[in-house]
């Protein structure tokens, strides 16, 4: 990859060895055989990774702040108190038996970019016009605690703090208790930045298929999630005449089939799923009294998502009527679809171009902390390939050259803010 | 109900207070609010109920035997070693959140009948010609372990002991381990009886509809039970394109809907159900990799049952193809349809008539241990009403007068064997 390094004469120099060493170091916290990573948020493994990040922040002379939900910030305050701030980072938590790059790469990349920027300032003597904050968000994954994007959601005000602290894991431990156990509940947070840039692995194989190495997410999909219970009547599957049965599972079956049809009719812009189904009492010879469907509707288009919800409601009514059962909606969670910041998309494209890289414009379907941040400040996710599109699995992998490429572009984007101030206001 | 008591001058006197006290006592083991009963087979609650039954057997001077699968027998050996034996009883296990009378009433009724017979012998000085065995069968319900009728199936030789002991519950605990945990694995069992009489609550509302209070089941339905797994591919419900998903739960949904259609087309002679569905990994944002359907097909007609199985196999193929998933049949359990013993049906009718009760002749659709026993000895299920036909539900209820009526007829039938020996051979 040396061919693309510093082809733009004034770009900060990214030290590949330094980057890979940090990636290896952070992978020891929760790392298992075959590339496996289990670093559930606020676990002991997460604490170790957080301590590592805090040590980096202090060693490099950044100001460490930790907020009420455990989000960690490191402020490089070199442009003065009135200068704009650009934030970059991601999350150190992982899925159980997940991979090493999802999230952690974005935090390590932020650190590597800061080192590159500092070297560049020392070498050129240029006075930066923008301060930088590196960040590690709490519970992006939503694996140990639900919902996901919890830390960034509290930071942006979208999620109520008391609600967030009261979420419990499978053992009944709350977020608040888990924060206290590892000593990561404090009260200090920086104000909203002028821009938020998150570097991540792609999570699908569209870059590979396009033969490209760099992507910017220009749009994020919305998601509407329902917990919907069909309510039947418990009875013996033997003697109870078919006409008298009120089978909650039958209602769920009709809906699951119809949700697939709704997706088929909407085309590739809509994803639907029922990933979890709770049947009660779930005994082979008892007509189910209750079937709780965990439904997801996802789309990049607010209109498609709204229509899907309307279609789903009609399908629920129909399914309940056909099965002769009732239903109730137990929970609804709506995450809007929307655009990432167009100015940041252009900045990503321009920066990639200076090192000869074309930018693939994609949608992000899974959640990212940048989706939380997009509600309150210009935000973007930029991405490098992961082999075969595999994410949330031990074989998740991004090559060293691609890891370097991502940090070079990230550092380049940050440097533009350092030299020109808040370029988004100037466009 | 005093009007019908002892209207036949030589009938054993059933003590209603004694009967109801025993029913109340046994209902404390696993009983919950609103009539709920959760006494899963071989659980701690079941152990407590078993201990109660064992204490009754010992207190009344019966010989306690417990066999290799935990079936409990109490022998009233008052007619000598060469006399015929009539067995009566049912099962103490219940469905999760089921009712108090299904099974337990039959065991309590057997105890109450034995007390009535003993009093009658003491009062009249008649020397009985038949010995009596009271019985509690293991895992009639099939709720915790499948298949149902496990204990009676092992006793009759229809189910292999090693197979039965190796069945596991949802937590991976085997029948053998569960037996050892509660100390109910022994090696003693009585030989096959000359007749088996099981008193049960009806489980449907045909008695109510006919305005009658007593039924004999003259035929039992057959059942074909499948454990069928649809096999998909685990993936993220967010980014995975709909066309690439292999959703095992979708396959199950198609099948569940089609099974209802198969029943609709067959008419009242066929019952179909999926009462239990196991989904893996059952996480809201993961496409299900596996969905295991516990399917039941039931009919009184062997032809209807065979056609239903053929139709189901076609529906499985279609559901798997539509969902793009595979499938495998993990277990099949076939129980043939057949007649109960005509001599016992007549005895039930005659005995009921002595107290002015007409006998409604019904089919039993649900399995009963008497269906297992019918393969090896003359057997019958006699029944009293349950309100609204409700069974396997906390509101399952049989009135005190009807409970008394059932025991009076049961005791009367047993008394005929005591006075006349094996009346079935004499007919």
A157: left (phi over 0), alpha (psi -120 to 50) or beta: left
A-chain residues near B243 (CB < 8 A): 268
Q: Strands B72-76 and B131-136, how do they pair? A: antiparallel
A-chain residues near B285 (CB < 8 A): 142, 273, 275, 296
At residue A4, the pLDDT reads 45
Of the candidates B203, B245, B253, the beta carbon closest to that of A239 is on: B203
The set of residues, in sequence order, having a beta carbon less than 8 Å from that of B122 and lying 6+ positions away, is: none
Q: Cβ of A365 and B239 within 8 Å?
A: yes
In chain B, the residue whose alpha carbon lies closest to the alpha carbon of A141 is: B285
Same domain membership, residue A171 and residue A41 = yes
Q: Cβ of B203 and A277 within 8 Å?
A: no
Same domain membership, residue A27 and residue A46 = yes
Instruction: Find which of A263, A275, A330 to mutate to test the B interface (most B CBs within 10 Å of its CB).
Output: A275
Residue A49 has pLDDT above 70, yes or no: yes
Average pLDDT over residues A70-75: 98
Residue A246 near residue B109, CB atoms below 8 Å: no
- The complex's ipTM works out to 0.77
A-chain residues near B364 (CB < 8 A): 238-239
Same domain membership, residue B149 and residue B83 = yes
Domain hosting B123: range is 2-221+337-426
* A55 vs A392, residue with greater confidence: A55
Q: Cβ of B263 and A283 within 8 Å?
A: no
Q: Cβ of A236 and B260 within 8 Å?
A: no
In chain B, the residue whose alpha carbon lies closest to the alpha carbon of A274 is: B284
Of A315, A335, A355, which residue constitutes the final position of a domain? A335
Give the count of beta carbons closer than 10 Å to the beta carbon of residue A368: 28
Of the candidates B243, B275, B283, the beta carbon closest to that of A275 is on: B283
At residue A370, the pLDDT reads 96
Same domain membership, residue A194 and residue A282 = no
Q: Cβ of A282 and B276 within 8 Å?
A: yes
Same domain membership, residue B159 and residue B264 = no
Please give, rounded to a whole number of angstroms, the shortest distance from the CA of A283 to a CA of chain B.
5
Instruction: Find which of A200, A219, A225, A273 to mutate to test the B interface (most B CBs within 10 Å of its CB).
Output: A273
B-chain residues near A396 (CB < 8 A): none
Q: Strands B338-339 and B215-220, how do they pair? A: antiparallel
Lookup: tokens for A288: 């189910």
Same domain membership, residue A343 and residue A318 = no
B-chain residues near A286 (CB < 8 A): 95, 98, 143, 275, 392
Q: Cβ of A250 and B256 within 8 Å?
A: yes
Residue A9 has pLDDT above 80, yes or no: no
Lookup: tokens for A334: 């709506």
Same domain membership, residue B413 and residue B348 = yes
Structure confidence by residue, pLDDT tens digits, A137-176? 999 998 899 888 999 999 999 999 999 999 998 889 999 9
Indicate which CATH number applies to the domain containing A281: 3.30.70.360
Q: Is A103 helix (H, G, I), strand (E, B) or coil?
A: coil
Query: Cα–Cα distance between A145 and A171 in angstroms, integer?
Result: 11
Same domain membership, residue A90 and residue A29 = yes
Same domain membership, residue A341 and residue A280 = no
Q: Would you give per-residue pLDDT tens digits along chain B (427 residues)?
A: 334 444 455 789 999 999 999 999 999 999 999 999 999 999 999 999 999 999 999 999 999 999 999 999 999 999 999 999 999 999 999 999 999 999 999 999 999 999 999 999 999 999 999 999 999 999 999 999 998 999 999 999 999 999 999 999 989 999 999 999 999 999 999 999 999 999 999 998 999 999 999 999 998 999 999 999 999 998 888 888 899 999 999 999 999 999 999 999 999 999 999 999 999 989 888 899 999 999 999 998 889 999 999 999 999 999 999 999 999 999 998 988 889 999 999 999 999 999 999 999 999 887 899 999 999 999 999 999 999 999 989 999 999 999 999 999 999 999 999 999 999 987 6
Q: Cβ of B237 and A298 within 8 Å?
A: yes
> To which H or E segment does residue A279 belong?
strand A270-280
Of the candidates A249, A282, A284, the beta carbon closest to that of B142 is on: A284
Query: Cα–Cα distance between A103 and A96 in angstroms, integer?
Result: 14
Reference A214, options A3, A24, A408, A10; nearest CA is A408
Query: Cα–Cα distance between A365 and A367 in angstroms, integer?
Result: 6
B-chain residues near A263 (CB < 8 A): 242
Taking the CA atoms of residue B213, residue B214, residue B218 and residue B223 in that order, the dihedral angle to the nearest 10 degrees is: 60
Residue B146 near residue B226, CB atoms below 8 Å: no
Instruction: Find which of B285, B290, B363, B389 to mutate to test the A interface (most A CBs within 10 Å of its CB).
Output: B285
Of the candidates B282, B286, B393, the beta carbon closest to that of A234 is on: B393
Same domain membership, residue B300 and residue B287 = yes
Query: Cα–Cα distance between A136 and A41 in angstroms, integer?
Result: 11
Query: Cα–Cα distance between A309 and A296 in angstroms, integer?
Result: 10
DSSP A426: H
Q: Measuring CA to CA, how many Å separate A388 from each of A206, A369, B130?
A: 9, 23, 77
* Strand partners for A270: A299
Please spell the DSSP secondary structure of A329-382, one letter per residue. Answer: EEEEEEE--EEPPHHHHHHHHHHHHHTT-PPEEEEE-S--HHHHHTTTS-EEEE
Reference A412, options A357, A352, A336, A359; nearest CA is A352
DSSP A55: H
Q: Is A108 helix (H, G, I), strand (E, B) or coil?
A: helix
Q: Cβ of A366 and B141 within 8 Å?
A: no
Q: Is A211 helix (H, G, I), strand (E, B) or coil?
A: coil
Of the candidates B253, B367, B390, the beta carbon closest to that of A257 is on: B253
Please list the alpha-helical segments (H only) found in A245-285. 248-266
Of the candidates B282, B298, B393, the beta carbon closest to that of A235 is on: B393
Q: Tell me the pLDDT band of A407, cut-offs 50, 70 and 90.
A: very high
Give helix A342-354 / helix A400-420 axis angle, nearest 10°.
120
Query: Cα–Cα distance between B204 and B389 in angstroms, integer?
Result: 4
Measured at the CA of B58, the angle between CA B54 and CA B61, to 5 degrees, comes to: 145
**What's the structural domain count of chain B?**
2
In chain A, the residue whose alpha carbon lies closest to the alpha carbon of B394 is: A234
Of the candidates B240, B277, B287, the beta carbon closest to that of A277 is on: B277
Same domain membership, residue A17 and residue A46 = yes
Indicate which CATH number applies to the domain containing B342: 3.40.630.10
- Report how many Cβ contacts below 8 Å link chain A to chain B: 178
Of B335, B364, B393, which residue constitutes the final position of a domain? B335
A-chain residues near B40 (CB < 8 A): none
Residue A203 near residue B239, CB atoms below 8 Å: yes
Distance of CA B330 to the CA centre of its chain: 23
Give the count of beta carbons closer than 10 Å to the beta carbon of residue A28: 12
Please give, rounded to a whole number of angstroms, the shortest distance from the CA of A116 to a CA of chain B.
33
DSSP A233: B
Instruction: Find which of B262, B276, B395 to mutate to test the A interface (most A CBs within 10 Å of its CB).
Output: B276
Same domain membership, residue A249 and residue A183 = no
Q: Cβ of B366 and A236 within 8 Å?
A: yes
Q: What is the 3-state secondary structure (H, E, C) of chain B?
A: CHHHCCCCCCCCCCCHHHHHHHHHHHHCCCECHHHCECCCCCCHHHHHHHHHHHHHHHHCCCEEEECCCCCEEEEECCCCCCCCEEEEEECCCCCCCECCCCCHHHHHHHHHHHHHHHHHHHHHCCCCCCEEEEEECCCCCCCCCCCCCHHHHHHHCCCCHHHHHHCECCCCCEHHHHHHHHCCCCCCCCCCCCEEEEEEECCCCHHHHHCCCCEEEEEECEEEEEEEEEECECEECCCCCHHHCECHHHHHHHHHHHHHHHHHHHCCCEEEEEEEEEEECCCCCEECCEEEEEEEEEECCHHHHHHHHHHHHHHHHHHHHHHCCEEEEEEEEEECCEECCHHHHHHHHHHHHHCCCCCEEEEECCCCHHHHHCCCCCEEEEEECCHHHCCCCCCCCCCHHHHHHHHHHHHHHHHHHHHHCCHHHHC
B-chain residues near A318 (CB < 8 A): none
A-chain residues near B221 (CB < 8 A): 238
Model pTM? Answer: 0.73
At residue B1, the pLDDT reads 38
Of A335, A360, A394, which residue constitutes the final position of a domain? A335
């Amino acid at each position: 990859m040396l061919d693309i390094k510093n082809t733009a004469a004034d770009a900060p120099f990214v030290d590949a060895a330094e980057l890979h060493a940090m990636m290896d170091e952070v992978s020891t916290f929760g790392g298992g055989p075959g590339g496996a990573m289990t670093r559930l948020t606020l676990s002991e493994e997460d604490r170790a990774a957080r301590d590592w990040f805090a040590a980096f922040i202090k060693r490099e002379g950044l100001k460490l702040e930790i907020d009420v939900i455990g989000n960690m910030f490191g402020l490089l305050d070199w442009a003065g108190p009135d200068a704009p701030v650009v934030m970059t980072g991601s999350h150190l938590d992982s899925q159980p038996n997940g991979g090493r790059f999802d999230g952690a790469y974005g935090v390590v990349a932020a650190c590597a970019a800061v080192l590159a920027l500092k070297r560049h300032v020392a070498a050129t003597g240029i006075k930066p016009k923008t301060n930088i904050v590196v960040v590690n968000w709490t519970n992006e994954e939503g694996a140990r605690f639900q919902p996901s994007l919890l830390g960034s959601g509290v930071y942006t005000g979208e999620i109520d703090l008391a609600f967030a602290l009261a979420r419990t894991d499978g053992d009944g431990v709350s977020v608040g208790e888990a924060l206290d156990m590892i000593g990561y509940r404090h009260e200090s947070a920086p104000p909203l930045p002028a821009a938020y840039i998150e570097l991540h692995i792609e999570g699908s194989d569209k870059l590979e298929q396009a033969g490209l190495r760099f992507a910017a997410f220009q749009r994020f999909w919305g998601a509407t999630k329902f917990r919907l219970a069909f309510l039947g009547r418990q009875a013996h599957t033997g003697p109870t005449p078919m006409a008298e049965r009120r089978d909650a599972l039958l209602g769920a079956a009709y809906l699951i089939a119809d949700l697939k049809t709704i997706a088929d009719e909407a085309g590739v812009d809509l994803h639907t799923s029922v990933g979890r189904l709770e049947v009660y009492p779930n005994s082979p010879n008892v007509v189910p009294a209750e079937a709780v469907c965990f439904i997801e509707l996802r789309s990049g288009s607010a209109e498609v998502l709204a229509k899907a919800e309307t279609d789903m409601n009609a399908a629920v009514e129909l399914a309940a009527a056909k099965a002769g059962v009732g239903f109730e909606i137990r929970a609804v969670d709506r995450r809007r679809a929307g655009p990432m910041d167009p100015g940041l998309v252009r900045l990503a494209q321009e920066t990639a171009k200076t090192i000869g890289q074309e930018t693939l414009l994609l949608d992000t379907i899974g959640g990212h902390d940048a989706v939380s941040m997009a509600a309150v400040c210009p935000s973007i996710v930029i991405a490098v390939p992961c082999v075969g599109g595999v994410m949330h699995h031990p074989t998740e992998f991004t090559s060293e050259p691609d890891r370097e490429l991502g940090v070079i572009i990230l550092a380049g984007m940050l440097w533009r803010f350092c030299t020109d101030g808040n370029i988004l206001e100037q466009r």
